[in-house]
Amino acid sequence: MGAAKIKKGDSVVVLSGKDKGRTGTVQQVMPKDGKVVVEGINVAARHRKPSQQNPQGGIDRFPAPMHLSKVALADPKDGKATRVRFEVKDGKKVRVAVKSGEVIND
């Protein structure tokens, strides 16, 4: 598997699905599954019965994982979706936004 183009803490844009066009911050990346968890995006709800740990019960809402292909890195310049390429600058491999040519801070 190649280098990670999307990492934890990156700002991403959702490309498809019910949250299309929304942006959020990556909370978790699961490279083996090819999935990513984005804060406030793809929120799932679980109805919980009352239990001893949670006597009130209720609805738990949490961001569910989504496929990596549904998100793209947000360009640091304008916040729109961009692809990522790798370049060597000052002897260090860095991620670069294809659209603007800006270096993405690692």
DSSP label of 75: P
Q: In one letter, which amino acid is 33?
A: D
Question: In the predicted model, is pLDDT for residue 3 greater than 90?
Answer: no
Question: In the predicted model, is pLDDT for residue 1 greater than 60?
Answer: no
Phi, psi of 71 (to 5 degrees): -125, 155
Burial (0-12, 13-18, 19+ Cβ within 10 Å), 14:
buried
Spatial separation of the C-alpha atoms in residues 96 and 33, rounded to whole Å: 24
Spatial separation of the C-alpha atoms in residues 41 and 18, rounded to whole Å: 9
Question: Which pLDDT tens digit goes with each residue over 40-82?
Answer: 999 999 999 999 999 999 999 999 999 999 999 999 999 999 9
